[in-house]
Structures are given as C-alpha cells and as structure tokens.
Structure 1
Amino acid sequence: MLIRRMELRDCDAINTIYNYYITHTAITFDLCPWPLAEREQWFAQFDPSSCYQAWVAEQDQQILGFAYNTPFNPKQAFHIASEITIYAAPDAGGRGVGSALMQTLLDGMRDKALRRAYSLVTLPNPASLALHRRFGFQQVGQLNDVGEKFGQYHSVAMLECDLTV
C-alpha cells in the first residue's frame, strides 16, 4: 500500500468513498452526496507548503482511503490546532489503511509544528475510537444527541491528541 499526497485526480475516488458514508451511515453528518465540482473546490485548500495536508492510501491504482487535516477553528489563535478526518473505503476495513493514513497525517502535522489534533467521532464507532486511541487520542468531551440523521439522534465524541509528545 502506498500513502501519497492527494491529487486533484483523486477527487472522484474520494467522493465515491465519502458519498457512501453519507448515504449509508451516520458517521458523517452531511446529508446530501457531494458533487464532483464541490470536491474539487474543497481540494484547492491543500497546498504542500501549508500545515493543512491531504493524503490517500492507494493499492493497485485504487484509492483505499483518505485523510486530511483542516483548521480546528477559524479564529487566529487556534492556528496551533487542527481537526483531522480519516475515511477508508467500505471494503478496505481491517487492512491497516486507517493506521497508515493516521501515522502519515500526524507525522506531517508534527513536522508543521501543530500542537493539537482533534477528531469528532459519531457514536457508536468502536473501530474509529480504537484507531484514535492507538495513536494517543483521548476523549475530552461528548456532544450528546447533537446530530439527526436517518430519523435518529446521534452523539459525537471529541478526541484530542497532544502532538508535542
């Protein structure tokens, strides 16, 4: 498996993965699938010189997953913190995709002198919580019944990782 920087040409494959989770799960609180043009506009925020980065896991020319980090909050003093997102293709579970992407993403964030990584995880999601804990994330909060999807209310765990250790 190859972990490499995301490229514009990956947007269609990323959308296929993400849109699956929109339409089949409550893991993301997006309700409508993303059109390709919107994904391509989203991709424009990732500049290799920025502290915000995007990665893909690829094997046999197939995208198995993706990860990225974005601003935690738009207020300027939060520039030392970033929110992360990781998705594996629905058929790529248990193959180390999430771990490989997480390691690369966190290493890159440390290289850019970020101090904290945050992740919001819809509950229940034991696999995602276990992945985050393996990389030093701790739950620092929980937002109860904060989202409604598929006629149900969903809670979200807020996880934090100290990137300085």
Structure 2
Amino acid sequence: MSSERTEVLVRPGVEGDLIALTDLYNHYVRETPITFDTAVFTPEERRPWLLSHPEDGPHRLKVAVEVDSQLILGYATSSLYRMKPAYGTSVEVTIYLAPDAGGRGIGTLLYKSLFEDLALEDLHRAYAGITQPNEASVRLHERFGFRYVGTYREVGRKFGRYWDVAWYEKEL
C-alpha cells in the first residue's frame, strides 16, 4: 500500500452516490454489530434514507470522496432523533467509513464538515449511540466534544449475542 496521501473532498451526498453508499452500509450490516440492521438493503430500499438528508436543514448527509477517483471513503449523517415534535432541536449523528479508510483522518474531516453545517441550524444537542466495544468511534466522538451519558445494556441482538450501546451527547 502506498504511503502517499490522496486528496479527500467532503461534500453533500447526492442521488448518484446511492449505490456506493448502500454497498458501504451493507458491509456493516453483514459483517459487524455496528448497525443493528440484520438484512442488507437494495439501493431502492435505501433511497428514502438518502432523500431524508437534503443539502440544508438539520438532517444532513456528508460524503468523503477521493478527489482523483471519486471513490467514496465514508459518510456522516445527522438524522431525526425521535418522532415527537419537542425533540426537534436534537439530532442523532452517525458515521460509517469504508473498511480500508480507517486511521486516515476521514472521520475527522466528515464530522468537522457536518458540525460546521449544523452550527447554522436551530439545534441544541447531538446524540450518538456506539455499539460496544468500539474504541475508535469513542475516541472520535470524544475528540468532537461528546460526553458519555450512559449505556443501554444488551439492547440489541445480532450474530447470536447481545450488544451494549453507549450513548454520547454534544451541545450544539
């Protein structure tokens, strides 16, 4: 593997990203407990998710791509926290990196861009649920000012075992 760093661009996600984003997410569905989805998605099944993240507003989708190849290296989102109206100034954030994109600062670039955009919105808090163990994700969130607020013990079952989810919050 080359030690050269490729230039990375962070931009809003667009419909043309749907297949690559679906493939990236499906890796985590199939191979990890990081998401509690248990069945892979087709791009058409994933389209409503993509369309629920416009370029403006509190619910965003940021995509990191290699400038030369346009290969998607990861994405970050802010999404509806809960359905009830009083939760409207809270968002849940998440980040997914391509399997070989970790340790390159991609997550930092994605969250930096996402939180810069969210600073312009009428938001009060961001929440992140991190399936345990996941030290890399904990470190990333803490670097961005998230603080630990509690753990839901054995809240999800996947791959024949129960998983804890640690919850973090950040003031916006």
Q: TM-score range by the shorter chain?
A: over 0.9
Corresponding position: 1:56 with 2:93: no
Corresponding position: 1:39 with 2:25: no
Name the amino acid aligned to 1:155. D
1:25 to 19, 32, 45: 32
Alpha-carbon distance, 1:30 to partner: 0.3
Q: Which moved more, 1:46-55 or 1:75-84?
A: 46-55
> How many residues matched?
163
Corresponding position: 1:72 with 2:87: no
Q: Which moved more, 1:125-134 or 1:51-60?
A: 51-60
1-structure distance, mates of 2:119, 2:64: 20
1:7 to 4, 11, 14: 14
2-structure distance, mates of 1:58, 1:90: 14
For structure 1, which runs of at least 5 residues remain unmatched after alignment? none
Q: Which moved more, 1:47-56 or 1:28-37?
A: 47-56
Q: Give the percent of matched residue pairs that are identical in Structure 1 and Structure 2.
A: 40
Match of 1:88 in 2: 97
Runs of 4+ with >3 A deviation: none
1-structure distance, mates of 2:46, 2:16: 11
SS of corresponding position for 1:111 = coil
For structure 2, which runs of at least 5 residues remain unmatched after alignment? 1-7
Deviations 1:116-148 (A, max 9, x none): 000000000000000000000011110000011
Alpha-carbon distance, 1:42 to partner: 1.6
Taking only aligned residues, the RMSD between alpha carbons, in angstroms, comes to: 0.9
Match of 1:118 in 2: 127
TM-score by length of 2: 0.92
TM-score by length of 1: 0.96
